[in-house]
Amino acid sequence: MKSLFSFYPNASKIYDYLYFPSLVHYNEQDNSKVDNHKDEVPEEFIKLQTEISLKLKPYKNILSKYYYYDDINIIHLLLGKYSFFDYVNVSDYLDALQNLDSKEIVKTIIGSLEAKETGTPKSQEARKLAEELVNDDSRLMSWINKLSYSGETKWQLLTFTKTPKESLNECINTLRSLEGIFLEYYSPVEKKIMDYGEEFILRLNNVEGDALDKITNGTLKNSMIPGEKGHMLISYFGDYSIHIYPGVGPGFIAWGMGIEEIFQKLSKREENELSDRILLFKNLGDKTRYEVLKCIASGTTSTKVIAKELGVSSATISYHISNLTTSKIIVPLHAEGRYIYVVNHETIEKCFKDLKKDLKIT
């Protein structure tokens, strides 16, 4: 049997190191990643995230310059061009980033931001735009101001582009100083993470048919895998989330170590179809989420366009799309080199059919 998925232990650890600082913004009252299924997330996970956030608090002022509330950060934007897959450890990767010149840093940031806005990760237009803006401060400022992020995030991005080399060095030096805190939490579970990764990939490759579809109860499909081979990383700190990074280098999926447990619990719960109907109406009861669904139904899938139309940030749109996806109201599709969302008519029609049956409507 041909192996579709591969697990990368070193890259998994590097990814978690780079993800770890974002927990400085963690707020258990606003855990958007699991909004539909908060009851399924163990209390231990919430306590862990809260504890780490408090540990990182002394670094919050400086980390906030590079890790934003809008769920983006400078290092992950650089991933759009500079992959860490060829590095044994995070220190060597950070060394490589520190060797970049100012123009290359800004071009990469622009290209990644434009790709995120348009939903086209390998867009030639994004690279062309980056070449133009890097030499035109006025246009660059105007372009950043039009991005669908919060005012604070746009201000930090503008500030970063003024002194990119110095700012990146400050960011990286701060990341290096967090090594002790990172290892305090990661080292005790490192073997468990690696063992799970090996076992999980073995199971995935032995599944007949669409493995991701079966593991995630239809939330993801193998067609969502970036590239020809499934580069899978296991994340401990992003325990109950799934992130897809198309990238210019080897695209990859960062699979939260605990997310499979959520899908297993939901699979059992969904044996009672009433939960699907309740979850559908719970989602439709949120006005903004309903408006997002209407936009997707009309063919508009760009977070930037939807955010502008509804007058909210792209982070808010991503939040609602995440919950519409996990509740199976919309499904992701890979089309023409980018990812789009479409309304899951089958699920919605079934829910309304069952509702009519429940209420004796003929």
29 within domain boundaries:
yes
134 within domain boundaries:
yes
- Same domain flag for 130 and 255: yes
11 within domain boundaries:
yes
With contact defined as beta carbons under 8 Å apart, do 330 and 341 qualify? yes
User: What is the separation, in whole angstroms, between the first and last Cα of the chain?
Assistant: 49
Residue 29 has pLDDT above 50, yes or no: no
Where is mean pLDDT largest: 112-116, 128-132, 192-196? 192-196
- Distance CA(317)–CA(320), nearest Å, equals 5
- Distance CA(170)–CA(155), nearest Å, equals 17
203 within domain boundaries:
yes
State whether residue 232 is helix, strand or coil.
Answer: strand
Where is pLDDT greater, at 35 or 194? 194
Question: What pLDDT, on the 0 to 100 scale, is given for residue 32?
Answer: 46
Long-range contacts of 226-229 (CB under 8 A, 24+ apart): 226/121, 226/250, 226/251, 226/252, 226/253, 227/251, 229/4, 229/5, 229/6
- Distance CA(301)–CA(273), nearest Å, equals 28
Give the pairing of strands 252-256 and 338-343. unpaired
Span 302-324, average pLDDT: 90
Bridge partners of 330, per DSSP, are 343
Question: Residue 187's Cα: distance from chain center in Å?
Answer: 24
Span 120-124, average pLDDT: 69
Long-range contacts of 350-357 (CB under 8 A, 24+ apart): 350/273, 350/276, 351/276, 351/277, 351/280, 354/273, 354/277, 355/277
Span 291-306, average pLDDT: 92
Domain that holds residue 18: 5-259
Six-digit token string for 343:
């309304």
Average predicted confidence (pLDDT) for the chain = 89
State whether residue 256 is helix, strand or coil.
Answer: strand
SS3 content of the chain, % helix, strand, coil (to 5): 65, 10, 30
- Same domain flag for 225 and 338: no
- Same domain flag for 84 and 220: yes
Q: How many domains does the chain have?
A: 2
- Same domain flag for 39 and 100: yes
Span 304-308, average pLDDT: 90
Give the closest residue to 133 by CA, choosing from 123, 149, 144.
144
Six-digit token string for 330:
């919309």
Domain boundary among 235, 259, 283: 259
- Same domain flag for 325 and 213: no
- Same domain flag for 306 and 179: no
Q: What is the CATH number of the domain that holds 338?
A: 1.10.10.10
Residue 97 has pLDDT above 80, yes or no: yes
Residue 357 has pLDDT above 80, yes or no: yes
- Same domain flag for 345 and 238: no
- pLDDT tens per residue, range 57-90: 999 999 999 999 878 999 999 998 999 999 999 9
264 within domain boundaries:
no
Domain boundary among 201, 225, 259: 259
Question: What pLDDT, on the 0 to 100 scale, is given for residue 36?
Answer: 54
Question: What pLDDT, on the 0 to 100 scale, is given for residue 93?
Answer: 98
Question: What pLDDT, on the 0 to 100 scale, is given for residue 28?
Answer: 46
Burial grade of 338 (CB within 10 A; 0-12, 13-18, 19 or more): middle
Question: What pLDDT, on the 0 to 100 scale, is given for residue 33?
Answer: 46
- Same domain flag for 254 and 278: no
Where is pLDDT greater, at 31 or 101? 101
- pLDDT tens per residue, range 146-165: 998 899 999 999 999 999 99
- pLDDT tens per residue, range 220-266: 888 887 766 789 999 999 888 888 887 667 889 999 999 998 888 87
